[in-house]
Structure 1
């Protein structure tokens, strides 16, 4: 059995008032899996993603990603962890409008101290692989939603992270752009990239996931291979 990329054990996240956002969640994700996290608004999906990304800490339990105890990291350690281990794709792209596509993509590498020529070569490879090399010197505001999300994915993959996290990656897109992104995530899955996607979009899960995890009221209500979800 391969070593898990993600291992959550007895994880809860409680805030001062109200019920737990996550309540005693245990979850394991192995290399090459593409897991869709499903559930209604307020169910704890985004809280789970934030804990895995090191953007939040559990109240109880442990979070281990690619051998790193994320729940033990301080602020500086969490930032280093995200640069080395995590690629993140957001609903609203989070691209910098005053930077070109290439400069947006190379930013994570520059933050890690990668030599500029090497970083730009890696960016060119990614843009070519994702079908947007012709936009390398364009600014994000001139691209379609689907193209901007491809730029965001290229940026997320820049440092070759073992884990890609996506938060509603089709949520801000029209139907045509959404189909482009579904095809892209399907290709990433087929290439063996480990992916965890939080989504309301069941068609995205059906297109891209090998497994679905449904969260209700902070607890895992179902954890099924994709074939059982269809």
Structure 2
């Protein structure tokens, strides 16, 4: 088996008051897995995602992603690491309303210094692959929720990250749009994309994850393979 793409070892995260948000969590995610992280509010799901992305640092333990000790990086190095290795998708899309679809997707490439011609070719590839090429010049406010989430996914994949993180990616969508995003994530994983997603949606986990990790009170309560529905 290849080395883990994500390797958390005895990770604890505490804040000023209350019990630990994460309590000695050890977790490995290998390339090609699609891991759904489940649990009630306050169980540590979003904290886990933020630590993997280098947006936060553990109080104790180590977080290694793609061979990089993330919790040892400076803020500048952490931002550079995310641009190169991690794509992020959020519940509320975080698209820029004054940029059209193509320009929203191109933004990570511009920040990373990708040559303009290469970036435009990559954007066109993603627009076609994700079924949103007809919306290239549209603005986010003219799109449905499901279409906006596809644009957000395209933006997250722009720099070919090894890891895609998704935080409640269907939380703001209606049932039909949620099913559309579920199918998209399943297809991306089938193409080899490693995915870690946080969700309350059991149907989403069952429909696109190859493995389910359940957190309870900051600890891993369950970690089992998932038979992905076709």
- Normalising by structure 2, we get a TM-score of 0.98
Determine whether 1:196 maps to 2:196: yes
C-alpha distance in 2 between matches for 1:100 and 1:3: 39
C-alpha distance in 1 between matches for 2:113 and 2:77: 16
Equivalent in the alignment of 1:110: 110
Equivalent in the alignment of 1:165: 165
C-alpha distance in 2 between matches for 1:133 and 1:162: 24
C-alpha distance in 1 between matches for 2:7 and 2:13: 16
- Spell out, residue by residue over 1:170-228, the C-alpha distance to the aligned partner (whole angstroms, 9 max, x if none): 00001111111011011011111000000000000000000000000000000000149
- Normalising by structure 1, we get a TM-score of 0.98
Equivalent in the alignment of 2:149: 149
C-alpha distance in 1 between matches for 2:227 and 2:122: 35
Runs of 4+ in 1 over 6 A off after TM superposition: none
Equivalent in the alignment of 2:42: 42
State the secondary structure of the residue aligned to 2:97: coil
Equivalent in the alignment of 1:122: 122
* 1:40-189 to 2 correspondences below 5 Å: 40-189=40-189
What value does the CA root-mean-square deviation take over the aligned residues?
Answer: 0.9
- Spell out, residue by residue over 1:51-106, the C-alpha distance to the aligned partner (whole angstroms, 9 max, x if none): 00000000000000000000001110110010001000000000000001000001
Shift of 1:3: 1.3
Task: Provide structure 1 residue ranges, at least 5 long, that are not aligned to the other structure.
Answer: none
Shift of 1:148: 0.2
